[in-house]
Structure 1
Amino acid sequence: MKKIGILFLSLFITTVAFSQNDENAKSLLDEVSAKMGAYKNMYIGFSQTLSNEDAGIKEGDEPPIRGEINLQGEKYSLNYLGNQFIYDGKKLYVINHDEKEISVSDNDLSGDDGFIYPSKLLTFYKEGYNLEMGTLENIKGRNIQFVTLNPIDSNSEIVKVELGIDAKTKHIYKLIQTGANTSKTTFTIIKFRKNEDLSANFFTFNKAKFLTQKYTID
């Protein structure tokens, strides 16, 4: 499983001219990127829900999928759908605990297959989207300012992305991705910690440990 479905969308390189309203949206996302990017590291616990009107699937029909990720610069450790993804800055290790199989890739996965990966979380909006300010909503007592990102590529499988920003903390709170097939995927950050004391080898793949546990490494 190499496609990580957490806050990660398509990238297309282009030059964009912004209106004043778009400039406000871009300024807000720049502020969020600068603030969260300045942390030594971050822990994010999240939930994911899916709906699809064409398929008759309404949000809430299925229990949310839970996941968690630790980020430090380009490095990350992600637990999602029973798999663990460790990127040490050079190689990506995808660990399937059920099958006891591990695949290894050189470098991080790119966005060429239509996804943005953890190392691009705070920068993906900078290329390939027209930005505009969305609604300001009160969600569970928190003021959440939404920014709408519309892909410039007319062939994109993504119709739009809505990023919800906590107006007080300037942290990402929610991401809603709407696909061309009417599917809607919602990611909500339910836990957040910053600047934790992580061990020096936190993002290091321990090959000997997994071989001892009889994992197969490709």
Structure 2
Amino acid sequence: MPVVLLLFMTAFAKAQSVQTLLKEVDTKVKSYDNIAIDFKYALSNEAEGVNQETKGNVVMAGDNYKLSLMGTTQLFDGTNVYTIVPEDEEVTISAMSDQDENAITPSKMLSFFNEGYTQKMDIKQKVNGREIQFVKLTPMDSNSDVKYTLLGVDAQTKHIHKLIITQNNGTKVTITVNSFKTNQPLAKSTFTFDKSKYTDYYINKL
């Protein structure tokens, strides 16, 4: 078999295996009524001397989500995004259509890789006895702030274990999943903004 043809077939097989893995992840995510994740969030930039770590959690059902991170709660009810900041006693309300289309929001976090990226298999690691397969995602948009993203997938459960976003300015954001729960009993008001709870807050509607 000619070397060129062999290389082509090998590259094709690898591309198929990447697509198969990500398809399995996407299918698994869409099979759940809701997902609740506890995670560690780390931000670093060696050149700027920045190194921060904190914990957060998010609940998602379809596109709706409730995210708690760094003392701030963000709700999306299908139409508007509500950002609640107790420290400033302020709530900012904005339409989802006004958000950055390229931003990886909680509702996109488990499916953002489906379009706009070239996909390539990367390293495989053992983490606490689990096999984590990383996929390297490079934005097709040459103007993107993101240089590349490493998506770590649990080979057995097909759940996302880690997300490492490396930006062009040297900033690295790492999200590590500590717990991944599905089909939890949720109150009907989980994704609803109750204005009566924030009568003393400044409401900023964009």
Count, aligned residues:
194
Q: CA deviation at 1:169?
A: 0.8
Identity %: 38
Q: CA deviation at 1:125?
A: 1.0
The TM-score, its normalising length taken from structure 2, stands at 0.87
Judged with a 3 Å threshold, the aligned counterparts in structure 2 of structure 1 residues 30 and 109 are, in CA distance, closer, same or farther, namely farther
Deviations 1:57-113 (A, max 9, x none): 5xxx54x2111100001111001111110111111111011111111112365333x
Gaps of 5+ in 2: 1-10
Matches within 5 A, 1:44-193: 44-56=37-49, 62=52, 64-107=53-96, 110-112=99-101, 114-193=102-181
2:42/2:54 contact within 8 Å kept: yes
CA RMSD of aligned residues (A): 1.8
For residue 216 of structure 1, the aligned residue among 174, 189, 202 is 202
Q: CA deviation at 1:195?
A: 0.5
Q: Which has the higher contact order (CA 8 A, sep 6+)?
A: 1
SS of aligned partner of 2:48: coil
SS of aligned partner of 2:16: helix
Determine the C-alpha separation between the residues in 1 that align with 2:94 and 2:158. Answer: 34
1:92/1:108 contact within 8 Å kept: no
Judged with a 3 Å threshold, the aligned counterparts in structure 2 of structure 1 residues 19 and 159 are, in CA distance, closer, same or farther, namely farther
Determine the C-alpha separation between the residues in 1 that align with 2:160 and 2:177. Answer: 8
SS of aligned partner of 1:189: strand
Return the index of the structure with the highest Cα Rg: 2
Deviations 1:4-39 (A, max 9, x none): xxxxxxxxxxxxxx9432232122111111101211
For residue 31 of structure 2, the aligned residue among 17, 25, 38 is 38
Determine the C-alpha separation between the residues in 2 that align with 1:30 and 1:111. Answer: 25
Gaps of 5+ in 1: 1-17
The TM-score, its normalising length taken from structure 1, stands at 0.83
Structure that is richer in helix per residue: 2
Q: CA deviation at 1:153?
A: 2.0
